[in-house]
């Protein structure tokens, strides 16, 4: 991946396809009861217990994915080797945000600190009707500042993958079989546009894909938007150290990605200063820190 300040995915072909074959229905935003985002409370977070889990992929896992996709469908140049090896990893107890950080939550941070707004906001305000959509065009540095203000931090790659995958080594947050009806991905666009939940510019409201739920009850870890972690991309056992220099691990798939990117083991490396219309984030808090608040 080249060094760029604005990491973008070409969506013109996707838009043309949708407009050619569908009558586009009005996009709506469901009313959601979203908590958390600021201050020192644990609401809106999910507890992940300490212990081992299965992380990464092995040759058999990768072979199965390549059978279907190979180098097609946006997977050109994807280095499956970065997911290896498949191994058991121990993670301490922590809390993780149930949903991706929303525009409304990020606005509270801006109002409280005077921090600069994402570049697509107007006069410090997110687009109308997008309060419960994931905040986008956020760099890794921006996400770190938000997390610090909220009394939280960004998850490590290991924490993120355990929260998404559980302890049984499943391929996707909901199980081992991909189903476009369960999540917000490129395949799901064609499945769900009739019901009006697809937005080809901003993703979807958090929590709207009712099937995209991990074993712990964490939402949208498969699709909707990719998410920053605090881990260095070149720091993983199977990673190309030179390729990952100065990059951060981004986990999860997005509304423009196909199912291989939705797998819990999938990962990309992105420069920390980059911003994108398909990258958001969520936060975690150490168990000890949260317990001390009560």
Query: So what's the pLDDT on residue 243?
Result: 60
Distance CA 73, CA 259 (A): 9
Q: Order the strands of the 248-251 sheet from edge to edge.
A: 267-270, 248-251, 226-232, 279-280
- What phi-psi label fits residue 25: left (phi over 0), alpha (psi between -120 and 50 degrees) or beta? beta
The highest-confidence range among 40-44, 77-81, 91-95, 193-197, by mean pLDDT, is 91-95
Q: pLDDT tens digits for 101-157?
A: 999 999 999 999 999 999 999 999 999 999 999 999 999 999 999 999 999 999 999
Task: Quote the tokens at residue 66.
Answer: 């390549």
Q: State yes or no: pLDDT of 240 exceeds 70.
A: no
User: For the whole model, what pTM was predicted?
Assistant: 0.81
- Taking the mean position of all CA atoms in its chain, how far away is CA 274? 15
The DSSP 8-state label assigned to residue 87 in this structure reads E
Domain map (residue ranges) of the chain: 12-291
CB contact at 8 A, 244 and 233: yes
Report helix, strand or coil for 14. Answer: helix
Q: pLDDT tens digits for 17-60?
A: 343 333 222 222 222 333 333 323 346 999 999 999 999 999 99
Query: So what's the pLDDT on residue 145?
Result: 98
Query: So what's the pLDDT on residue 244?
Result: 56
- Burial of 50: CB neighbours in 10 Å, binned 0-12, 13-18, 19+: exposed
CATH class of the domain defined by 12-291 = alpha beta
Distance CA 236, CA 252 (A): 16
Task: State the pLDDT confidence band at 184, using cuts at 50, 70 and 90.
Answer: confident
User: Cis before residue 85, ω within 30 degrees of 0?
Assistant: yes
- Taking the mean position of all CA atoms in its chain, how far away is CA 54? 19
Interval 262-288 mean pLDDT? 96
């Amino acid at each position: 991946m080249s060094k760029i300040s604005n990491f973008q995915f070409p969506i013109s072909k996707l838009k043309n396809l949708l407009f050619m074959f569908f009558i586009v229905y009005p996009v709506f935003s469901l009313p959601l009861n979203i908590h958390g985002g600021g201050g020192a409370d644990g609401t809106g977070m999910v507890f992940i217990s300490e212990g081992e889990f299965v992380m990464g992929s092995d040759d058999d896992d990768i072979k199965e994915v390549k059978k279907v996709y190979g180098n097609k469908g946006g997977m050109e140049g994807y280095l499956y080797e970065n997911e290896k090896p498949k191994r058991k990893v121990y993670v301490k107890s922590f809390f993780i945000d149930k949903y991706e950080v929303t525009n409304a939550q990020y606005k509270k941070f801006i109002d409280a600190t005077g921090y600069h707004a994402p570049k697509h906001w107007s006069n410090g305000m997110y687009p109308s009707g997008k309060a419960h959509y994931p905040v986008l065009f956020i760099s890794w540095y921006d996400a770190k500042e938000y997390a610090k203000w909220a009394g939280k931090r960004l998850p490590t790659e290991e924490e993120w993958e355990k929260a998404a995958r559980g302890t049984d080594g499943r391929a996707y947050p909901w199980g081992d079989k991909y189903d476009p009806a369960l999540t917000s991905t490129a395949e799901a666009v064609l499945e769900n546009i009739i019901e009006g939940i697809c937005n080809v510019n901003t993703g979807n409201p958090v929590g709207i894909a009712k099937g995209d739920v991990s074993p712990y009850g964490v939402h949208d870890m498969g699709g909707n938007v990719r998410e920053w972690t605090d881990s260095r991309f070149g720091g993983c056992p199977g990673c190309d150290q030179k390729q990952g220099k100065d990059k951060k691990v981004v986990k999860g798939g997005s509304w423009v990605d196909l199912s291989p990117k939705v797998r819990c083991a999938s990962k990309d490396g992105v420069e920390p200063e980059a911003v994108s219309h398909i990258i958001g984030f969520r936060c975690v808090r150490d168990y000890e820190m949260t317990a001390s608040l009560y």
